[in-house]
């Protein structure tokens, strides 16, 4: 059954993710390391060989690949980017992962 993206509470899901980013992001990007509030990792969506150009802020969820210009401002957009999902599908998947309704 089709569910509209309007029925997804993006803000609430992002808020639930934020305090967990310190464990979620390393699980999503295991070939990386923490430096301050940033997680630096290889970008799994491209042939990235050197850690440094792809980073995620573990406080806010903002992320960027400075080599390609790809970027986002929250955990849902990061999860969508890494898993090649639409924003609504990523939000629902994260809600499920966190054990809450989207």
Residue pLDDT, tens place only, 61-89:
999 999 999 999 999 999 999 999 999 99
Please indicate whether residue 62 or residue 5 has the higher confidence score (pLDDT): 62
Per DSSP, 18 falls in state: G
Distance CA 52, CA 33 (A): 10
**Helices and strands counted in the chain (H then E):** 4, 5
Distance CA 9, CA 22 (A): 22
Q: Which CATH superfamily is domain 21-95 in?
A: Zinc finger, CHC2-typedomain (3.90.580.10)
| Collapsed DSSP state (helix, strand, coil) of residue 67 | coil
- Given this model, what pLDDT does residue 1 score? 39
- Given this model, what pLDDT does residue 102 score? 54
Give the mean model confidence (pLDDT) for residues 4-16.
Answer: 82
- Residue 99's region, left for phi above 0, alpha for psi from -120 to 50, else beta, is left
Residue pLDDT, tens place only, 12-42:
999 999 999 999 999 999 999 999 999 999 9
Q: Which residues contact 23 (CB under 8 A, 6 or more apart)?
A: none
pLDDT > 80? residue 7: no
């Amino acid at each position: 059954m089709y569910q509209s993206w309007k029925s997804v509470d993006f803000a609430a899901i992002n808020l639930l993710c934020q305090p967990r980013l310190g464990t979620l992001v390393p699980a999503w990007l295991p070939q990386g390391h923490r430096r301050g509030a940033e997680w630096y990792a290889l970008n799994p969506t491209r042939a990235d060989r050197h850690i440094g150009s792809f980073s995620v802020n573990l406080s806010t969820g903002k992320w960027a690949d400075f080599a390609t210009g790809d970027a986002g401002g929250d955990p849902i957009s990061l999860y969508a980017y890494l898993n090649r999902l639409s924003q609504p599908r990523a939000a629902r998947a994260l809600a499920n992962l966190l054990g809450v309704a989207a």
